[in-house]
Structure 1
Amino acid sequence: MIGKIKSSTSQMLIAFDIPNYRLLFTGRVTSNTGRTMRVFARAWFVYELTESPLRMGIATSALTWPMLIMPLFGGIVADRVDRKRLLLFTESMLVILWVIVAILITMDIFEWWYFIISAVISGIIQSFGRPGHQAMIGSIVDSTRLGNAVALDSVSETWPRIVAPALGALLIGVIGIHGLFWLTALAQFITLITLVKIRWEPLDLNNSRKMGNNIIEAIQHIRKESIIIALVSLGLLSSLFAGSYNFLLPIFADDILSVGETGLGILMTVGALGGALGSIIVVAASNAKRGRGTILISISIIKTVALIAFSQAHIFPIAITAMFFMGSTQVMFMTMLTIAMQQLAPDHLRGRIMSLRVIFMGFSPFGVLIMGTIAELHGASNTVLIGAILYGTTSLLVLILIPTLRRFQ
């Protein structure tokens, strides 16, 4: 019995057999922890200075603005240059950027709108770094461990969302906002060190093609792979209609559920815990070789039901339960989608195809804009309900029009 448990556990962590992946994972943990604390600190700092939720939202969302288009070029670069050198460059630029921000805050000469500039610069850098990172995973991990590596990468992204905000809130009172930004810069520097230590033989990449030809090559491949088209469509639909409910949570907590700030904190924590559990479930199932299309369909259905239940919840325990499933299915869905895209991407196109995964983030502000407009006219509850119906029906349409997704293994 103990032997079976050990064997099962080792299979869940099979990607860690590769030393380079262990380094890459460690760097992701420190980078995501620093990034999440930075998002929290940025929102705190701007609100303290301006007492304006609008300005806080602008400063926080500015990171995603470049990610609507720029990742396409980042993916091309990731397929044309040495991927380790690309990541070393992007991480170095992020270290320099956040050290400069920390210095300005320490000197007390930082204005709130500087965060818009720094966030946009960070978004541009990450538009090259994120496709490079996704391509790097596929380059250092063999095909038998690839699904597990992507699932573990999701853990490195999900779990810091739980720990980092609480840690940041605690540290602000001890080291101040300037000290917190120095700490996030240090976390970024540790990520840079892990990349330096990766032993890497540069791939033989064809960088003689013009950029336009690189784009055409990727489009031609995607047109032949109907499953990739389906995956990209589902990801965009999720970003537009099913992933934009978070900004409405204060309205639910205050006006609908009447639980105030404490209740809002509980809702956000439960959603994060659901995401953490979802990431573990995907890690456990990452080595499965059958029924992945069916699993994606099932997750989409559960996600739609959870959104509908939350939209109509007027009792706090029901809202908490729905929020837990919304958090878990969101992480499970996006991770399974990423695994499928990684497995379908040939290595010479991996950067370009995985850049589409990064673009999903760029569409999030459009989802917020759409949902915000509907909320102005019909209220928060009806907005989430409409979003759930739109997500469910359009996802069903994708599954009907592209039957190969249902048969995807």
Structure 2
Amino acid sequence: MINPNFSKLVFGRAIGNAGDSIYMIAMNWFILKLTDSALWIGIMNAAIVLPGILLFLFGSTIDKHSKRRLLVAVEFSQLVVVVLLIVALLAHVKLAGVYVILVFIAALFGSLAYPIQDALVPLIVKKDELVQAQEYMSIAYKGTDYVFNALSGFLIGLLSVLGILIADAVTFVVTVLTFNRIKVHEPHHQPAETSEPYFQQVLVGFKIISKNRLLGLLTFSSAVLNFFFGGLNTYVVLFGRHFGGSIYYGILESMSAVGTLVGMTLLYRSLKRLSVRVAYLIGNLGCTIFMFLTVVTFNQFWAFAVVYLGSFIFLGLTQVYETPMIQASVAADQLGKVMTSFYTLVSITLPLGSIAFAYLADRFDLRLFLFLFGVFDAVVFLLFALSRSFRRVDDLQL
């Protein structure tokens, strides 16, 4: 690991994400048992996703205050909400809206942890260690998500929803204690008085992204990619049905998880000697080729599954580089605003893609979706390959 303070950040994030993964799924299951309503499950999932769209409102706060203290505060706040959920369960509260509101609040604090961490990382690692740091953070984010999402059904059956929430409270206690032990030098300054209206302050991150061509390109590609992933969340279920049932759906979900982790670790490490620009372009080109190959192999499951795995391996490679490029391009005192604005723009398109492609699902062949996804990947590859601002990305010395 890069240094002891960064090790604490990664360990705390991994433990916190494990708790997040389990209790979000547990609460969905609980709401289904409580209401026997698909509508309430949709409302609960909206409560989980919606906070990501609101993050830009908090960018200025992140930049003005200690990132370490804010990180401890949001994790402690999640702990408080989980305790309230436990109390509600013990009190046999039957109002679904109470649980939805509490989960929304918990999800808001959980979402805030990501931009706070992204703003904190450049303060505890060197600039040329940002990409390596992102590799470890990606494993902490996604690795624990994938593992505990897979185990959640078994754990709910073993421990019950109440048991899951109690275990989750313990994970947040560990996370708070771990983050509180991080030692970092943060410039001490009083928030400057400004006559700017609050609404204009929260728009600063969007303005920085719009004026910086590299940031604009990264945001555009990530936002549209999330639009397609919103569709993929629906279509992968249909792919499973096309091939014969839920077991095939489960295999494809596993392929995407394993592929992303392999790309973030093994493929990234094998290409570390290459420049950031070349490695990132290889990732985009690989995504393009393998996504088009999914169209060709659509009628042969195992060939399709292997190609599907390959597309996520190259996707994982690109994800290692994206956050460090933003971190290295933005001044430390503006990073909170930029990261929250970036997450907001990227979060909006995911539910939009889910709705749009769900509506279109019965109107065109499943292979057309894969083809369109491949076309988008090809466009992204060309945009980055031809971008003048991206040609200078190696000047960032990542």
Gaps of 5+ in 1: 1-12
Q: TM-score, normalised by structure 1?
A: 0.85
Structure 1 CA distance for aligned equivalents of residues 67 and 270 of structure 2 = 29
- The aligned residue for residue 56 of structure 2 is 72
C-alpha contact 2:230 2:351 (8 A) present in aligned 1: no
- The aligned residue for residue 9 of structure 1 is none
Partner secondary structure for residue 249 of structure 1: helix
Give percent identity, aligned residues only: 19
- The aligned residue for residue 181 of structure 1 is 165
Partner secondary structure for residue 207 of structure 1: coil
**Cα distance, 1:223–1:381 mapped onto 2, change above 3 Å:** closer
Structure 2 CA distance for aligned equivalents of residues 220 and 271 of structure 1 = 34
Residue 399 (structure 1) aligned to one of 384, 393, 396:
384
Partner secondary structure for residue 187 of structure 2: coil
**Cα distance, 1:203–1:335 mapped onto 2, change above 3 Å:** same
Structure 1 CA distance for aligned equivalents of residues 384 and 97 of structure 2 = 43
How far has the Cα of 1:45 moved from its partner? 2.6
Deviates more, 1:107-116 or 1:186-195: 107-116
Q: TM-score, normalised by structure 2?
A: 0.88
Structure 2 CA distance for aligned equivalents of residues 48 and 308 of structure 1 = 41
- The aligned residue for residue 5 of structure 2 is 20
C-alpha contact 2:206 2:338 (8 A) present in aligned 1: no
Structure 2 CA distance for aligned equivalents of residues 317 and 273 of structure 1 = 15
**Cα distance, 1:353–1:44 mapped onto 2, change above 3 Å:** same
Structure 1 CA distance for aligned equivalents of residues 269 and 390 of structure 2 = 22
Counterpart AA for 2:239: F
Partner secondary structure for residue 203 of structure 1: coil
C-alpha contact 2:131 2:320 (8 A) present in aligned 1: no
Residue 60 (structure 1) aligned to one of 45, 51, 75:
45
In the alignment, structure 1 residue 346 sits paired with structure 2 residue 331: yes
- The aligned residue for residue 162 of structure 1 is 146
Within 5 A, what are the aligned runs for 1:9-408?
13=1, 15=2, 18-68=3-53, 70-205=54-189, 207-208=191-192, 209=194, 210=196, 211=198, 214-215=201-202, 218=205, 221-242=208-229, 244-254=231-241, 256-258=242-244, 260-281=245-266, 284=269, 288=273, 291-311=275-295, 313-359=298-344, 360-393=346-379, 395-396=380-381, 398-399=383-384, 402-408=387-393
Gaps of 5+ in 2: none
CA deviation digits over 1:184-204, x for unaligned, max 9? 222122111111111233323
CA deviation digits over 1:95-138, x for unaligned, max 9? 11111112223443244444432332233323433211110111
Structure 1 CA distance for aligned equivalents of residues 91 and 40 of structure 2 = 22
Structure 2 CA distance for aligned equivalents of residues 213 and 112 of structure 1 = 37
Structure 2 CA distance for aligned equivalents of residues 127 and 252 of structure 1 = 30
CA deviation digits over 1:324-369, x for unaligned, max 9? 1233233322222112112222211111222244222343111212
Q: Let me know the Cα RMSD of the aligned residues.
A: 2.6
C-alpha contact 2:56 2:341 (8 A) present in aligned 1: yes
Structure 2 CA distance for aligned equivalents of residues 240 and 173 of structure 1 = 34
Counterpart AA for 1:229: G
Structure 2 CA distance for aligned equivalents of residues 169 and 220 of structure 1 = 43
Structure 1 CA distance for aligned equivalents of residues 314 and 42 of structure 2 = 25
- The aligned residue for residue 6 of structure 1 is none
Structure 1 CA distance for aligned equivalents of residues 169 and 295 of structure 2 = 39
C-alpha contact 1:74 1:131 (8 A) present in aligned 2: no
Partner secondary structure for residue 117 of structure 1: helix
Deviates more, 1:151-160 or 1:377-386: 377-386
Structure 2 CA distance for aligned equivalents of residues 86 and 101 of structure 1 = 23
How far has the Cα of 1:246 moved from its partner? 2.2
Counterpart AA for 2:303: I
C-alpha contact 1:37 1:168 (8 A) present in aligned 2: yes
